[in-house]
Amino acid sequence: MALNPSTENRAIVIGGSLGGLFAGNMLKKAGWHVDIYERSAHDLDSRGGGIVLQPDVVEVLREAGVDTEGMELGVRSRNRIVYRRDGSILDERPAPQMQTSWSLIYNTMKDAFGTEHYHHGHVLTGIEQDETANTVTAAFQGGSRATGSLLVGADGNGSTVRSILWPDAQPTYAGYLAWRGLLPEVDLGPAAREGLAGNFGFANTKGSHILGYFVPGDGNATQPGKRLYNWVWYRTADNATLRSIMTDSNGRYRGFSLPEGLLSEAWKAHLHREAQEFLPRPFREVVQSTEQPFAQAIRDLTVPTMVKGRVILLGDAAFVPRPHTAASTSKAAANALSLGAALTAFPDDVDHALARWEPQQMMLGQQLYRQGTSAGDHLLFN
């Protein structure tokens, strides 16, 4: 069954998370007919996982028609504060910035795109390109197909698009993982409330680096008392340890990402013991009070090109910068903004537009890769 009767200026976006929504909205603004295909059968949910709000994200929201002046985009922090292991303050300085949540950006961008051309439950199985007709066709599990003049692989660091056309480009484990958690503001203990609330906090020792800040709470609430405290604790782990952590409470191996609610009791107890040993009291309270911590392996990924014919890679499908750059979401936004601008500038020559788009995006990805690798290795291994 062909899903798209016409291919002219029709884009197929694989992946319905932030990168796919950024691309979909910017392509629509450039005058393209866009369909987004998400493999999950349900709405995506990250329970407000934290994002440092960067200018490119705000810009893509504005370009999508969102009234950013009329909404609260996140939670502001006042200072950056660094704790020693014993709980004393190593450094504190004013550094106002805004932190938001994955779910706030996702819901806002999905509302801007609309539901008519956002398709759930489409698992990509193949890609075919016709160089004569300048078309590309996506084949999905179950037999459905979609044809257009551009396919955007925005399906994250485990990208199926990349595995089909860039099979040699695979993420590699960096030697450490991120324990993560979200704690309701009302559950903060006294030391955390006094030392962390309203600030962007850090603590670092060899093999251990933790940070945290407030993000919007349920329903994207930003009012005091309704927010969530988002924490990320980086710890070194060898491959055998990582595999054990990523084997969930039901005995299922989850690969490189363990969802909330599935951490085994043994590893939860281990996390609490290590918090007692390594963390200053404000962060120790936060970690030990979090009911459902989760985990993510830190991985590196680069690609040699972002364009193959009428197929492109965008966001984490192409480059995965380590999270110390705070740039994964903003990079996807920058990719999408630039893509929309290139196709608007050269509406009758898609290949030329892609040739103009790719070099700057490759430079951005490589720069963030180097920056993130350097920062992460320094923080965790020096």
Q: Is 99 left (phi over 0), alpha (psi -120 to 50) or beta?
A: beta
Q: Are residues 193 and 268 in the same domain?
A: yes
Q: Which tokens belong to 33?
A: 């007919």
Residue (of 271, 281, 258, 350) closest to 309 by Cα position? 350
Q: Are residues 28 and 77 in the same domain?
A: no
Q: Are residues 180 and 229 in the same domain?
A: yes
Q: Are residues 268 and 159 in the same domain?
A: no
- Domain final position from 242, 271, 299: 299
pLDDT in tens, the chain (382 residues): 334 445 679 999 999 999 999 999 999 999 999 999 999 988 877 655 789 999 999 999 999 999 998 888 999 999 999 999 999 999 999 999 999 999 999 999 999 999 999 999 999 999 999 999 999 999 999 999 999 999 999 999 999 999 999 999 999 999 999 999 999 999 999 999 999 999 999 999 889 999 999 999 988 899 999 999 999 999 999 999 999 999 999 999 999 999 999 999 999 999 999 999 999 999 999 999 999 999 999 999 999 999 999 999 999 999 999 999 999 999 999 999 999 999 999 999 999 999 999 999 999 999 999 999 999 999 999 8
Q: Are residues 327 and 373 in the same domain?
A: yes
Q: What is the pTM of this model?
A: 0.94
> 133: buried, middle or exposed (CB in 10 Å: 19+, 13-18, 0-12)?
exposed
* Per-residue b or e along 13-26, where b marks 16 or more CB atoms closer than 10 Å to that residue's CB: bbbbbbbbbbbbbb
Q: Are 283 and 181 in contact (CB under 8 A)?
A: no
DSSP string, 225-258: TS-EEEEEEEEE--HHHHHHHTB-TTS-B-TTEE
User: How many domains is the chain partitioned into structurally?
Assistant: 2
CB proximity list for 290: less than 8 A, separation 6 or greater? 181, 182, 183, 231
Is 350 part of any domain? yes
Is 37 part of any domain? yes
We report the CATH number of the domain holding residue 201 as: 3.30.9.60
d(CA 362, CA 382): 29
Which DSSP symbol is given to 347? Answer: T
Q: Using DSSP, state whether 117 is helix, strand or coil.
A: coil
Q: Are residues 195 and 264 in the same domain?
A: yes
Tell me the residue type at 210: I
Q: Are residues 27 and 140 in the same domain?
A: yes
d(CA 194, CA 366): 40
Is 55 part of any domain? no
pLDDT confidence of residue 142? 95
- Residue where the block lists tokens 């030392």: 195
pLDDT confidence of residue 7? 63
d(CA 361, CA 365): 6
Is 209 part of any domain? yes
Is 320 part of any domain? yes
pLDDT confidence of residue 4? 43
Is 284 part of any domain? yes
Q: CA-CA distances (angstroms) from residue 323 to 50, 335, 376?
A: 11, 17, 8
d(CA 356, CA 348): 14
- Residue where the block lists tokens 């299922």: 252
pLDDT confidence of residue 47? 57
Is 62 part of any domain? no
Provide the domain limits for residue 179.
68-101+172-299
169 phi and psi angles, rounded to 5 deg: -95, 100
- Domain final position from 299, 316, 344: 299
Residue (of 360, 366, 314) closest to 162 by Cα position? 314
d(CA 108, CA 133): 36
HSE at residue 309, side-chain half, CA atoms within 13 A, is: 18
C-alpha 185, offset from chain centre:
23
Query: Hey, what long-range contacts does 347-352 have (CB within 8 A, 24 or more apart)?
Result: 347/9, 347/30, 347/31, 350/134, 350/149, 350/150, 350/310, 351/134, 351/310
Which DSSP symbol is given to 325? Answer: G
HSE at residue 140, side-chain half, CA atoms within 13 A, is: 22
Q: Are residues 160 and 194 in the same domain?
A: no
- Domain final position from 255, 277, 299: 299
We report the CATH number of the domain holding residue 361 as: 3.50.50.60
d(CA 296, CA 255): 9
pLDDT confidence of residue 303? 97
Q: Are residues 360 and 344 in the same domain?
A: yes
Q: CA-CA distances (angstroms) from residue 206 to 93, 177, 378?
A: 23, 14, 9
- Count of residues making up the chain: 382
Q: Are residues 295 and 262 in the same domain?
A: yes
Q: Are residues 135 and 223 in the same domain?
A: no
Q: Are residues 333 and 202 in the same domain?
A: no
